[in-house]
Structures are given as structure tokens and as C-alpha cells.
């Protein structure tokens, strides 16, 4: 197939997306596809730019607001601007955050009538909004930590959820715009910071325990992985800088836990109307209770990201994983 890999964009997860996209493009070529790598801001990337992205990886800090604003000034979606993209068979989405993961670009591709990988606009928008996700999980009988949403005082949050407590943006990703408040002073500071986010704020009961994750490909739940960060929680640095987290696949957990987590991950994938692939994150507390934190409709797709590591533990190399996702999307388009 001729495949355009869409990456970049103007969200604060731009660097992660560029790294994912460059590695997906290389993997798809290894699988025999004809591939063009496309930054949705700048258009089709030359080979030397792809090589630079592969070489440099994700920077230690996310792009700053000024950098994103400069990109956004002349932002035109590349698939509208570049007529050569009308010749592709499939768009492989390696976008994260912003309009890439919230259903916006999926709506555009649906209107264009083209095939693309991953969840549609509904699945993406449901998974992107953490508060909506939690409501749907609760309705589906999937345990998720208690939460509050919207404008709240520190006293209200502490009385309802206790301390420590997690404060995060409903539409955030990569642990950006997330605070773990240990006491009243930190909670008040997190609430003050959240007023600059331009997003709905979610306060979530903190679950102390083991952080685990389950990838989904098609209808297959991949082996469970455990994440052991060097920092107090799995923050941006631990996610993308070498040596700051252990990511163990398969996790060293009882088989009964693994089966239950896979069942819950599949249930989450279906409840949120996701398709093709996703990743679902959990905490397992000291009593063995499993709590779903969130789902990712477009999880990281570098070779060392969590979903590909889970696939590798199932005997599926990165190039095969990317090929399988592309085939799932192509087959769906043919059926439609």
C-alpha cells in the first residue's frame, strides 16, 4: 500500500508525535509499503528530516507555548495543502494531543472519505476527555478512582477525595498538565496553575500501588506491562528519557491478575468505541484492586513505547505491529 504517516501538529505532544511518526514510517517501509512521512504543519518531510527525527528522538522538555504559537500562526493542514496526498491508499495516524487525538482530524478524514488507522472521531473524543472516559467506565462497571470536575476549592477536593490527590487536565496527555498534590498548599498551587490550562480540570483520588498497562490490537489484549518510574509518578521525563523508568513486559504478576487486567482493558476499549489499537492504563492497589486511570486512542508508537513493547512480548515485532494496524484499517475501508 501507499501510506501517508501523519505526525507533528501543534499540540504540546508534538515532539512525541514526530518521533512516533518517523519510526512508524521506517517500520512500514520494512514491511514492504510505499510510505510518505507528513508533518501536518510543514507537509511531506524529506528523507534527511526523517533521519534527523530518528536520530534525535524526544527532547527532554515538551515544546514551549511560544514555539507552538509560532507553528500555529501559519498552520494549514498538510493533507489539504499537498495534492500528492490524494494518491495514498491509507493515512496512518501517529498524532498525539490536540486536533490529532481529539477527533478533529478524524472528522476531516471521514468527510474526505479516505481510510485511516485507529479510532474514529467518536472513539477519539471519548478517550481524549478523561472525565467523559470515567463516566463511561463507571457505567460499564469498570472500576476507576473517584473524582471531581470543574471549579473546586481545595477544601472541597480534600474533603471528597483526601490527600494526596491528582489534579489534571481532562484533555491532557503524556502526563503534561498533571500535578500530584500532597498537602493543602500544593493542592491550592495546582488549582491556581490549572486556571491557565484552558481545559476542564479533573481531581482524582490518588491510588498508591503498581502501575500497569495493557495494549489492544484488533480484538487481542497484549501481555500486561508494569511501569516503575524513577520519579514519584510516570511523568513526561520518565516516559521519554532513557533510564528514568523500568518497563517490564510481561509484568511479574499473578496470572489471575493478568487475565483480569486484559478483560478490563478490552472492556474499556469497547466501552469507549475505540478501534484498531489502543492502550489502557491501570493502578493495582495494595489489596489487589484494579483501577482504570485512562485510555489512549492513539498511544505512543516509537519502537520503545509501551504498546510496541507489549506487542513484542506477544511475539509481534514493531514492523509487524505497524503492518497489522494498517491492514485492519484497510480491510475496514474495503468492507465499508
- Are the C-beta atoms of residues 179 and 193 closer than 8 Å to each other? yes
- Alpha carbon separation from 23 to 7, 36, 50, 324 (Å, rounded): 11, 12, 9, 15
* Residues 33 and 96 placed together within one structural domain of the fold: yes
**How big is the chain, counted in residues?**
336
Domain that holds residue 183: 147-205
Q: Which of 215, 240, 310, 312 is catalytic?
A: 240
* Residues 80 and 178 placed together within one structural domain of the fold: no
Question: Is 235 noted as a catalytic residue in this protein?
Answer: no
* Residues 166 and 296 placed together within one structural domain of the fold: no
The rounded distance, in Å, linking the Cα atoms of 216 and 308 is 10
Question: Is 174 noted as a catalytic residue in this protein?
Answer: yes
CATH of the domain at 234: 3.30.470.20
- pTM metric for this prediction: 0.89
Q: What angle do CA 21, 27, 32 make, to 5 degrees?
A: 125
Q: Which three cell numbers stand for residue 76?
A: 494549514
Residue 63 has pLDDT above 60, yes or no: no
Prior bond of 64 cis (ω within 30°)? no
Q: What is the rounded average pLDDT of the residues 130-135?
A: 94
Tens digit of pLDDT for each residue in 4-52? Answer: 999 988 777 888 889 999 999 999 999 999 999 999 888 889 999 999 9
Q: Which of 281, 310, 312, 319 is catalytic?
A: 281
* Residues 108 and 156 placed together within one structural domain of the fold: no
* Residues 288 and 326 placed together within one structural domain of the fold: no
List of residues 6+ apart from 208 with CB closer than 8 A: 283, 285, 286
Q: What pLDDT is attached to residue 87?
A: 84
Q: Which of 103, 173, 225, 300 is catalytic?
A: 300
Residue 73 has pLDDT above 50, yes or no: no
Q: What pLDDT is attached to residue 243?
A: 66
Strand, coil or helix: 151? coil
Tens digit of pLDDT for each residue in 153-165? Answer: 999 999 999 999 9
The backbone torsions φ and ψ at residue 178, rounded to the nearest 5 degrees and listed phi first, read -140, 135
Q: Which of 98, 279, 305, 319 is catalytic?
A: 279
Question: Is 300 noted as a catalytic residue in this protein?
Answer: yes
Q: How far apart are the first and last CA of the chain?
A: 18
The rounded distance, in Å, linking the Cα atoms of 139 and 328 is 28
- Alpha carbon separation from 144 to 64, 218, 225, 260 (Å, rounded): 32, 24, 19, 15
The rounded distance, in Å, linking the Cα atoms of 45 and 142 is 42
- Alpha carbon separation from 79 to 40, 110, 132 (Å, rounded): 7, 13, 30
Q: What pLDDT is attached to residue 14?
A: 83
Q: What pLDDT is attached to residue 84?
A: 65
Nearest residue to 212 (alpha-carbon basis) of 275, 259, 271: 259
* Residues 200 and 78 placed together within one structural domain of the fold: no
Percent over 90 (pLDDT), the chain: 64
The rounded distance, in Å, linking the Cα atoms of 1 and 26 is 14
Instruction: Give the residue, 36 or 80, on which the prediction is more confident.
Output: 36
Q: What is the rounded average pLDDT of the residues 105-112?
A: 89
Question: Is 101 noted as a catalytic residue in this protein?
Answer: no
Q: What pLDDT is attached to residue 215?
A: 98
Confidence of residue 303 (pLDDT cuts 50, 70, 90): confident
CATH of the domain at 178: 3.30.1490.20
Q: Which of 9, 11, 12, 13 is catalytic?
A: 13
Q: What is the rounded average pLDDT of the residues 85-113?
A: 87
Question: Is 319 noted as a catalytic residue in this protein?
Answer: no
Q: What is the rounded average pLDDT of the residues 126-145?
A: 96
Q: What pLDDT is attached to residue 220?
A: 96
* Residues 323 and 265 placed together within one structural domain of the fold: no
Q: What angle do CA 130, 133, 138 make, to 5 degrees?
A: 130
The backbone torsions φ and ψ at residue 3, rounded to the nearest 5 degrees and listed phi first, read -125, 135
- Are the C-beta atoms of residues 197 and 186 closer than 8 Å to each other? no
Q: What is the rounded average pLDDT of the residues 181-205?
A: 91
Question: Is 281 noted as a catalytic residue in this protein?
Answer: yes
Q: Which of 119, 125, 174, 305 is catalytic?
A: 174
Question: Is 263 noted as a catalytic residue in this protein?
Answer: no
Least confident of 117-131, 174-188, 210-224, 308-322: 174-188
CATH of the domain at 79: 3.40.50.20
Question: Within 10 Å of residue 307's Cβ, how many Cβ atoms?
Answer: 26
Q: What is the rounded average pLDDT of the residues 309-329?
A: 97
The rounded distance, in Å, linking the Cα atoms of 197 and 194 is 5
Q: How much is the mean pLDDT over the chain?
A: 87
> Number of helices and strands (H, E) in the chain?
14, 14
Q: What pLDDT is attached to residue 210?
A: 95
The one-character DSSP state at 161 is: H
Q: Which of 11, 17, 296, 305 is catalytic?
A: 296
Provide the number of structural domains found in the chain: 3
Please compute, for residue 141, the number of CA atoms within 13 A of its CA located in the half-sphere on the CB side. 3
Question: Within 10 Å of residue 252's Cβ, how many Cβ atoms?
Answer: 8
Q: What pLDDT is attached to residue 28?
A: 98
The backbone torsions φ and ψ at residue 113, rounded to the nearest 5 degrees and listed phi first, read 75, 30
* Residues 233 and 138 placed together within one structural domain of the fold: yes
Least confident of 129-143, 174-188, 230-244, 280-294: 230-244
Amino acid at each position: 500500500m501507499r501510506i501517508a504517516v501523519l505526525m507533528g501538529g501543534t499540540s504540546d505532544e508534538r515532539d512525541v508525535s514526530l518521533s512516533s511518526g518517523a519510526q512508524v514510517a521506517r517500520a512500514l517501509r520494512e514491511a514492504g509499503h510505499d510510505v510518505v512521512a507528513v508533518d501536518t504543519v510543514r507537509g511531506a518531510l524529506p528523507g534527511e528530516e526523517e533521519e534527523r527525527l530518528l536520530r534525535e528522538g524526544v527532547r527532554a522538555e515538551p515544546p514551549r507555548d511560544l514555539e507552538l504559537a509560532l507553528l500555529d500562526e501559519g498552520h494549514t493542514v498538510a493533507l489539504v495543502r499537498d495534492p500528492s496526498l490524494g494518491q495514498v491508499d491509507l493515512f496512518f495516524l501517529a498524532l498525539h494531543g490536540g486536533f490529532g487525538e481529539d477527533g478533529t482530524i478524524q472528522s476531516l478524514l471521514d468527510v474526505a472519505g479516505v481510510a485511516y488507522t485507529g479510532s474514529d472521531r467518536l472513539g477519539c473524543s471519548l478517550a481524549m476527555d478523561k472525565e467523559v472516559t470515567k463516566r463511561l467506565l463507571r457505567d460499564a462497571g469498570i472500576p476507576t478512582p473517584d473524582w471531581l470536575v470543574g471549579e473546586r476549592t481545595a477544601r472541597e477536593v480534600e474533603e471528597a477525595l483526601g490527600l494526596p490527590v491528582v489534579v489534571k487536565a481532562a484533555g491532557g496527555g503524556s502526563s503534561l498538565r498533571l500535578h500530584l498534590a500532597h498537602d493543602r498548599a500544593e493542592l491550592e498551587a495546582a488549582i491556581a496553575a490549572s486556571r491557565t490550562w484552558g481545559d476542564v480540570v479533573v481531581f482524582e483520588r490518588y491510588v498508591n500501588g503498581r502501575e500497569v498497562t495493557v495494549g489492544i490490537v484488533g480484538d487481542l489484549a497484549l501481555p500486561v506491562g508494569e511501569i516503575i518510574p524513577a520519579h514519584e509518578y510516570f511523568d513526561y521525563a520518565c516516559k521519554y528519557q532513557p533510564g528514568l523508568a523500568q518497563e517490564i513486559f510481561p509484568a511479574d504478576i499473578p496470572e489471575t491478575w493478568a487475565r483480569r487486567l486484559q478483560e478490563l482493558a478490552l472492556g474499556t476499549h469497547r466501552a469507549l468505541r475505540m478501534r484498531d489499537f489502543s492502550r489502557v492504563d491501570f493502578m493495582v492497589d495494595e489489596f489487589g484492586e484494579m483501577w482504570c486511570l485512562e485510555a489512549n486512542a492513539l498511544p505512543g508508537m516509537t519502537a520503545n513505547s509501551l504498546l510496541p513493547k507489549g506487542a513484542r512480548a506477544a511475539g509481534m515485532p514493531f514492523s509487524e505491529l505497524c503492518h497489522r494496524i494498517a491492514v485492519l484499517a484497510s480491510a475496514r475501508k474495503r468492507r465499508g
